[in-house]
Amino acid sequence: MWKLPEGMEQWKKDLEEWLNRGIEFINQIPPTQLYIACAVLLLTTALLLLLQVFRRKKSNTIVLAGLSGSGKTVLFYQLRDGSTHQGTVTSMEPNEDTFVLHSESTKKGKIKPVHLVDVPGHSRLRPKLDEFLPQAAGIVFVVDALEFLPNCSAASEYLYDILTNSTVVKKKIPVLICCNKTDKVTAHTKEFIRKQMEKEIDKLRASRSAVSEADVTNDFTLGIPGQAFSFSQCHNKVSVAEASGLTGEISQVEQFIREQVKP
Ligand SMILES: Nc1nc2c(ncn2[C@@H]2O[C@H](COP(=O)(O)OP(=O)(O)O)[C@@H](O)[C@H]2O)c(=O)[nH]1
Ligand SMILES: [Mg+2]
């Protein structure tokens, strides 16, 4: 048998006294009140646990979309490895991986890995995008700022389809328009690209709504009727950034990803 030291003995007595006082106090409370208190306690615990589960389930998927040749695959490798893997063949399957951003790989502390999906821009593979959108926490729409004008209408059409996608609208998935290839001096600025795409989407909106009236499809309409379209009218946040996947100037893209995928 071991004996408690002097100090501990006193401490034990104090504890017992407090316990007795506590029991006395509880006995004074009417039982209904006690039950209510217990129920409230249980309910809050359950709620907190549920919240924790939901937080853990929050998606870490970022979707890279855009026309073929805009630079998605180069950007994918730059984000993951900090290099470009030049010479990779255009893949027909979505390129996807879960990793800690290369720029954050040396950081200490809690960093949440990102699930990045590079969806091929070929129009035949567009349905692939619909598979990934429901789990997306954010969409990076890559635009070739160098060869922008010849691709403007096709890119705008693709972006229009994304912005009117029911999942994107309902979940208010943030979209970053990434004006890529800005390492070249002849690349267009993000302000120019934003304005041109807004104009193009404004035109599309008019023609598409004329079509949908005929066969009564309930497509989500963009912007405010009677007003020139601007991205600021979208329910989800649409922002514009400049980047160069080739030279690794991708900090604005990384910042966007980190805002959507929080540790
Ligand atoms: N100058 C320049 N060229 C780029 C950049 N990013 C990609 N490219 C080039 O654009 C072409 C298409 O890139 P890729 O990543 O395959 O485009 P994807 O079809 O969207 O996946 C390749 O020849 C790349 O070398 C960039 O930031 N600057
Ligand atoms: Mg590619």
Give the CATH number for residue 107: 3.40.50.300
Residues 21 and 122 placed together within one structural domain of the fold = no
Residues 248 and 132 placed together within one structural domain of the fold = yes
In a domain, 142, yes or no: yes
Task: Report the pLDDT value the prediction gives residue 28, as an integer from 0 to 100.
Answer: 86
pTM (two decimals):
0.78
Residues 85 and 146 placed together within one structural domain of the fold = yes
In sign, the C-alpha dihedral spanning 89, 119, 219, 236 is: negative
Q: For ligand 1, what atom is nearest to the CA of residue 245?
A: 27
Atom 6, ligand 1: residue with shortest CA distance: 71
Residues 243 and 192 placed together within one structural domain of the fold = yes
Instruction: Give the domain-ending residue among 14, 32, 55.
Output: 55
Residues 10 and 96 placed together within one structural domain of the fold = no
CA distance 88 to 10: 75
Residues 137 and 20 placed together within one structural domain of the fold = no
In a domain, 62, yes or no: yes
CA distance 153 to 68: 14
pLDDT in tens, the chain (263 residues): 566 667 788 999 999 999 999 999 888 888 888 889 899 999 999 999 888 776 656 789 999 999 999 999 999 999 999 988 765 555 556 688 999 999 888 877 778 899 999 988 776 667 788 889 999 999 999 999 999 999 999 999 999 999 999 899 999 999 999 999 999 999 999 999 999 999 999 999 888 766 555 444 445 778 888 899 999 999 899 999 999 999 999 999 999 999 999 87
How many domains is the chain built from?
2
Residues 119 and 140 placed together within one structural domain of the fold = yes
Helix 72-81 × helix 251-260 angle, to 10°: 80
Task: Report the pLDDT value the prediction gives residue 71, as an integer from 0 to 100.
Answer: 94
Closest among 124, 139, 95 to 236, alpha carbons compared: 139
Two structure tokens written together for 79: 């984000």
In sign, the C-alpha dihedral spanning 29, 31, 36, 39 is: positive
Residues 172 and 198 placed together within one structural domain of the fold = yes
For 230, counting Cβ atoms within 10 Å of its Cβ (0-12 exposed, 13-18 middle, 19+ buried), the class is middle
Residues 48 and 148 placed together within one structural domain of the fold = no
Atom 3, ligand 1: residue with shortest CA distance: 181
In a domain, 1, yes or no: no
Q: Look up the domain containing 18 and give its range.
A: 6-55
CA distance 112 to 77: 18
Two structure tokens written together for 2: 């071991």
Instruction: Count CB-CB contacts under 10 A for residue 102.
Output: 17
> Could you give phi then psi for residue 40, rounded to 5 degrees?
-60, -45
Residues 16 and 42 placed together within one structural domain of the fold = yes
In a domain, 39, yes or no: yes
- Residues 156/197, Cβ–Cβ less than 8 Å: yes
Closest among 179, 180, 144, 139 to 161, alpha carbons compared: 139
Residues 200 and 166 placed together within one structural domain of the fold = yes
Residues 34 and 89 placed together within one structural domain of the fold = no
3-class DSSP assignment, residue 142: strand
Pocket probe mutation, ligand 1, options 141, 246, 247, 252, max atoms within 8 Å of Cβ = 246
